[in-house]
Amino acid sequence: MNFLQLVEQRCSVRQYSDTPVSAEQIDYLLACMRLAPSAVNLQPWHFYVVQSEEAKARLRQCYHREWFASAPLYIIGCIRHDQEWVRRRDQKPHGDIDIAIATEHLCLAATELGLGTCWVCNFDAALCHDLFQMDAQEEPAVLIPIGHPAPEVKPASKERKPLTDIITTC
């Protein structure tokens, strides 16, 4: 599978089967995530691998969707605001960009393994921060459910703007 085929195959999966994600698969996903680039290589992130029944029940309180509860595993991607690069000339923080790159490494690696994922940012971040007793400098930015797509999941069509709308060649 070349890279274009991989990115074509990745899609938001919103229903998972009961089949667990193996420890070897989790190790592979985390290895791919860890190698993401970041501004000044500061790696301003922290990830929670949510796999116990107790922790999954806690996380599900932060995003109430039936499909979300079907996932056998979740990653919480957090920005470490005390570690992120801030561009000096205009004070722009870059933790958001860094966490997004690492998270997408994870999602693409999962696709390669035949696993499904879905970015979730529309969750209760304050509640998540409390329920996982996170450090004050840590911001939960994204939840990624991971699992084997349920048999009824069909690949969604990729509706994207045409290149002519998004590219300026100069």
Ligand X SMILES: Cc1cc2nc3c(=O)[nH]c(=O)nc-3n(C[C@H](O)[C@H](O)[C@H](O)COP(=O)(O)O)c2cc1C
The residues, ordered by sequence, that sit 6+ positions from 128 with a Cβ below 8 Å of its Cβ are: 59, 62, 76, 134, 140, 143
The correct pick among 5, 52, 122, 133 for binding ligand X (CB under 6 A) is 122
* Listed ranges 21-29, 91-99, 114-122, 124-132: which one lies at the site for ligand X (CB under 6 A): 114-122
35 binds ligand X (CB under 6 A): no
156 binds ligand X (CB under 6 A): yes
The correct pick among 50, 99, 102, 118 for binding ligand X (CB under 6 A) is 118
Least separation in angstroms between residue 81's CB and ligand X is 18
Taking the C-alpha atoms of 93, 96, 97 and 103 in order, what is their torsion angle to the nearest 10 degrees?
160
Residue nearest to ligand X according to CB distances in the complex: 122
CB 96 within 8 A of CB 141: yes
The correct pick among 121, 126, 130, 135 for binding ligand X (CB under 6 A) is 121
How far is CA 129 from each of CA 67, 115, 116, 123, 126, rounded to the nearest angstrom?
Answer: 22, 27, 25, 11, 5
Judged by beta carbon, residue 31 or residue 156, the one nearer ligand X is 156
**Binding region for ligand X (CB under 6 A):** 11-12, 118-122, 156, 158
